[in-house]
A and B are shown apart, each in its own frame.
Chain A
Amino acid sequence: MSSLGIPQHWRTIRERYRLLGARCEKCNTNYFPPRKVCPKCRRRGKTTQVEFSGKGKIFTYTVINASSKAFENYIPYIVGLVELDEGPRVLSQIVDCKPEDVHIGMEVEACFRKIFEQDDGGIISYGFKFRPYDDSWAKDYERNI
């Protein structure tokens, strides 16, 4: 993990920061990560950039107890496959909740966090993680402090 080349890390910054994917204009299928070729339409299709909202549901998850060096400090951490509202599935960490609270079907939203830091003095990688979706604040705007 720490042998990651800088340009390789840089090329996926926008996808990691903003959940940028692609949509095939012909069949309207959304893809993440972005694809140059729609596997369904191939030459007949045309893909354009699309930014996903970050909302989704947990399709499956696991709790990692043994990891590579880059993620050692986070053990135990939750990794999940999140099905975005727009369709594609994304692999990411599930944060701000306990392992026992995670369940298949749980509503989550994307947040911006550190993915890892390269060994002492290397770059910091940022990207999306998912936390439980909570819009309780929206219903409750009249209360005073």
Chain B
Amino acid sequence: MGQFKRRDVAIISVGTTEFGELWDKGLKDLAWEAGVKAVEAAGIGGKDIQYIVFGNMSGGLFVGQEHVAALVADFLGLNSVPATRVEAACASGGAAFLQAYMAVASGMYDIVVAGGVEKMTDVGAGQAASILSGAMDYEWEAYFGATFPGVYALMARRYMHEYGLKADTLAKVAVKNHYHGSLNPLAHFRNRITEEEALSSPIVADPLRRYDCCPVSDGAACAILAPLEVARKYTDTPIIIRAVAQASDTLSLLGRGDLCTLKATVKAAGWAFEEAKVSRKDIDMVEVHDCFTIAELLALEDLGFCKKGEAEKLYSEGQTYVGGELPVNTDGGLKAGGHAVGATGIKQIVEVTRQLRGEAKNGRQVDGAEVGLAHNVGGTGATAVVAILSRR
């Protein structure tokens, strides 16, 4: 990463919509809602905003709309403000966050809106699955019959073969995320489930069952960034961005050597921890990319919280619940919290921010959370973004 002097950046406010099947809200409505919540919380006016970066995977295929960032700026009444859409499949939000961070850290802009939005339920489920398959290698994976759950299933089976993973560990991930989701009023799913229910749900792509797969959701999320030196003008609890790092890997599984490791996560995590000057032990909670239960296990290992093949231990010991050694996905993650593709990366930032401010409710708050990490992945790991935030 670059060695020239940069300024420190903080998050001064956040806002999200509910995530779910939101029939009466279109793409603009969702972005507006999240945006307004964040702007009002920061107590700023439209004239203060200097740049808007919005993550969105496929406005074009879902709702026939490209040029999404310009649309958002327009609908928020912010015309003249430059607005750019960032796309990195399911990591669009995280990638937008990096872009927004760079804009403030470099000194080019002061108040920047980092957002994400996806409207996925205006098309049928089959169509949505087809659109999502664009996150894979279309020509050499989707073309031959692979589905998105299918490629993660290929990884899951390989992981089972190499590390002896059992299906009930995957179920534990889903159960935990549904538990956290039940404590989050904005989550897509608020029902608790049992391991038995998870293990007897229909197979989507063997060995992944319905409860191993995140839903298709509508939603939007927003975070407003400002230079740290002026952040206290806008909030008493600015959250410091200690690092944002992004890395890439092969688009398809074809070129990967080790199917059980997302190199992009490993690289991004390495750069982020180095930049943030914190260690894994310092992290009090994480939001990881659990598009499928297997992905959560891989994430914890690739982020360096445990050795490859050993994430299972954290689950058999219940350490990833709020109150445990390392709370994971305290808002329900993607599985229960919902996955509005372009918004997810920002939604994760929002949850970490809330945790670090002590604002999580209903028993979801991690006591004394000082440092948090958000991890957003695109496709099967071709893009990974890791952000480390702290209270001080």
- Which positions 55-72 of chain A face chain B at CB distance < 8 Å? 59-69, 71
Which residues of chain A are near B354, meaning CB under 8 Å?
none
The residue in B130, B143, B147, B155 that gathers the most chain A C-beta atoms within 10 A of its C-beta is B143
Nearest CB of chain A from residue B250's CB, rounded to whole Å: 9
Assembled-state Cα–Cα distance A125/B145 (Å): 12
Q: Is B216 positioned at the interface, with any CB of A under 8 Å from its CB?
A: no
- Which positions 1-21 of chain A face chain B at CB distance < 8 Å? 1, 12
By the criterion CB–CB under 8 Å, are B158 and A65 in contact? no
Assembled-state Cα–Cα distance A68/B142 (Å): 9
Nearest CB of chain B from residue A59's CB, rounded to whole Å: 7
Which residues of chain A are near B155, meaning CB under 8 Å?
60
Q: Is B133 positioned at the interface, with any CB of A under 8 Å from its CB?
A: yes
Assembled-state Cα–Cα distance A69/B142 (Å): 12
Assembled-state Cα–Cα distance A99/B153 (Å): 14
* Binary interface encoding of chain B residues 149-167 relative to chain A, with 1 for a CB under 8 A from any of its CBs, else 0: 1110111111001000000
By the criterion CB–CB under 8 Å, are A62 and B202 in contact? no
By the criterion CB–CB under 8 Å, are B259 and A67 in contact? no
Q: Name A's B-contacting residues (CB within 8 A).
A: 1, 12, 31-33, 39, 59-69, 71, 74, 77, 79-81, 88-93, 99, 104, 115-116, 125, 127
Nearest CB of chain B from residue A3's CB, rounded to whole Å: 9
By the criterion CB–CB under 8 Å, are A66 and B149 in contact? yes
Chain B: number of interface residues, binned into ranges: 35 or more
Q: Is B146 positioned at the interface, with any CB of A under 8 Å from its CB?
A: yes
Assembled-state Cα–Cα distance A127/B141 (Å): 13
Q: Which of A39, A60, A92 contacts B144 (CB 8 A)?
A: A92
Nearest CB of chain A from residue B50's CB, rounded to whole Å: 39
Which residues of chain B are near A65, meaning CB under 8 Å?
202-206
Q: Is B177 positioned at the interface, with any CB of A under 8 Å from its CB?
A: no
Q: Is B41 positioned at the interface, with any CB of A under 8 Å from its CB?
A: no
Q: Is B108 positioned at the interface, with any CB of A under 8 Å from its CB?
A: no
Assembled-state Cα–Cα distance A99/B133 (Å): 23
By the criterion CB–CB under 8 Å, are A60 and B206 in contact? no
Q: Is B252 positioned at the interface, with any CB of A under 8 Å from its CB?
A: yes
By the criterion CB–CB under 8 Å, are B145 and A71 in contact? yes
Interface of chain B: mostly helix, strand, loop or mixed? helix
Taking A68-B130, A116-B145 as given, write out 17 further A-B residue pairs in contact, using a Cβ cutoff of 8 Å, ordered by the A residue number.
Answer: A60-B154, A60-B155, A62-B156, A64-B147, A64-B205, A65-B202, A65-B205, A66-B147, A68-B142, A71-B145, A77-B145, A81-B259, A89-B256, A90-B140, A91-B141, A91-B252, A115-B144
Which B residue sits closest to A33, measured CB to CB? B140
Assembled-state Cα–Cα distance A67/B154 (Å): 15
Q: Which of B143, B158, B204 contacts A66 (CB 8 A)?
A: B204
Q: Which of A74, A79, A104 contacts B146 (CB 8 A)?
A: A79
Which A residue sits closest to B129, measured CB to CB? A68
Which residues of chain B are near A80, meaning CB under 8 Å?
154
The residue in B133, B144, B252 that gathers the most chain A C-beta atoms within 10 A of its C-beta is B144
By the criterion CB–CB under 8 Å, are B154 and A69 in contact? no
By the criterion CB–CB under 8 Å, are A79 and B143 in contact? no
Q: Is B282 positioned at the interface, with any CB of A under 8 Å from its CB?
A: no
* Binary interface encoding of chain B residues 252-282 relative to chain A, with 1 for a CB under 8 A from any of its CBs, else 0: 1111100100000000000000000000000
By the criterion CB–CB under 8 Å, are B126 and A89 in contact? no
Q: Is B318 positioned at the interface, with any CB of A under 8 Å from its CB?
A: no
By the criterion CB–CB under 8 Å, are A1 and B154 in contact? no
Q: Is B26 positioned at the interface, with any CB of A under 8 Å from its CB?
A: no
Q: A62-B157, A90-B254 are in contact. Are A67 and B145 (CB under 8 A)?
A: yes
Which residues of chain B are near A59, meaning CB under 8 Å?
158, 259
By the criterion CB–CB under 8 Å, are A63 and B161 in contact? no
Q: Is B24 positioned at the interface, with any CB of A under 8 Å from its CB?
A: no
Assembled-state Cα–Cα distance A1/B142 (Å): 9
Which B residue sits closest to A71, measured CB to CB? B145
The residue in A63, A116, A125 that gathers the most chain B C-beta atoms within 10 A of its C-beta is A63
What are 20 sample pairs from A and B whose C-beta atoms fall under 8 A apart?
A60-B154, A60-B157, A61-B154, A63-B203, A63-B206, A64-B205, A65-B202, A65-B205, A66-B149, A66-B204, A67-B145, A68-B133, A71-B145, A77-B145, A89-B256, A91-B141, A91-B151, A91-B252, A91-B254, A127-B144
